Amino acid sequence: MNKPEKLNLIRQTGVIAIMRAQSSDQLIAAADAIKAGGVRVIEVTMTTPGALEVIAQASEKYGQDVLFGAGSVLDAETARAAILAGADFVVAPTLNLDVIALCNRYGVPVMPGCYTPTEMLTAWEAGADMIKLFPASVGGPDLVKALLAPLPQLEIVPVGGVGLDNAAEFIAKGSAALGVGSSLVNLKLLASGDMDELTRRAASFVREVKRGRGG
């Protein structure tokens, strides 16, 4: 799958499941459950033990059926290591121009974390494919609409504070997709082993995205 195809899958799915697991086995089990719920884009944070190995194993198992990206990427060195391990996309919590340049060099979608219009435009002009609005909980869905008014070319993905109670509104206000963490998958749920609940949550977010798009 090439870069445009990966970006299209992110848009179509509308949900990026942000996962922080305690082990690769735990994460793979959760990925199966999330996929069953209709979410085919998963971000593995670099704070996950053995994150690079997890990405490599997941990429080998799922191929292009599920996209596995690296999250919480702080520098270009980590971005390169993740890409070589098989990461389909890279997400950063901050605006780092070196990370954007590195990902562009390898033809991998990159999503830097920004909050202000200045940061977002800087990221976009540097070659960012999508913009991670973080923390989205501060401004909420109305902030997405406000940012897109002067900057309609941006593809904004809110992260932080996105739940079932506001997912549809975030989409309706113009978000390209949603980054969803603890309200979808968290360590407590993973520890319980209740993968059926994880599938139900994933399906609920997919429905909310569809509702936000008028479906």
Say whether 43 sits in a helix, a strand or coil.
strand
Q: In which order are the strands placed within the sheet that holds 156-158? A: 113-114, 131-133, 156-158
* Amino acid at the residue 66: V
Q: For 153-199, how does the pLDDT look when each residue is reduced to its tens digit (9 = 90+)?
A: 999 999 999 999 999 999 999 999 999 999 999 889 998 999 999 99
What pLDDT sits at residue 27?
A: 87
Please tell me the distance from the alpha carbon of residue 91 to that of residue 160, in angstroms, as a whole number: 13
Q: What is the mean pLDDT of the chain?
A: 96
Per-residue pLDDT at 215 exceeds 90? no
Of residues 130 and 193, more confidently modeled = 130
User: What domains are there in the chain, each with its CATH number?
Assistant: 3-207 (3.20.20.70)
Per-residue pLDDT at 24 exceeds 90? no
Cα-based angle 15, 20, 22 (whole degrees, multiple of 5): 145
4 CB burial (10 A radius; 0-12, 13-18, 19+):
exposed
| Least confident among 23-32, 60-69, 90-99, 146-155 | 23-32
Please tell me the distance from the alpha carbon of residue 1 to that of residue 3, in angstroms, as a whole number: 7
What pLDDT sits at residue 49?
A: 86
What pLDDT sits at residue 187?
A: 87
What pLDDT sits at residue 168?
A: 99
Tell me which of 132, 155, 173, 208 is the catalytic residue: 132
Report whether 45 contacts 20 (CB < 8 A).
Answer: yes
Measured in degrees and rounded to the nearest 5, phi and psi for residue 168 equal -60, -40
Tokens describing residue 199: 């599938």
Q: Is 132 a catalytic residue?
A: yes
Tell me which of 6, 35, 43, 173 is the catalytic residue: 43
Q: For 64-78, how does the pLDDT look when each residue is reduced to its tens digit (9 = 90+)?
A: 899 999 999 999 999
Measured in degrees and rounded to the nearest 5, phi and psi for residue 150 equal -90, -15
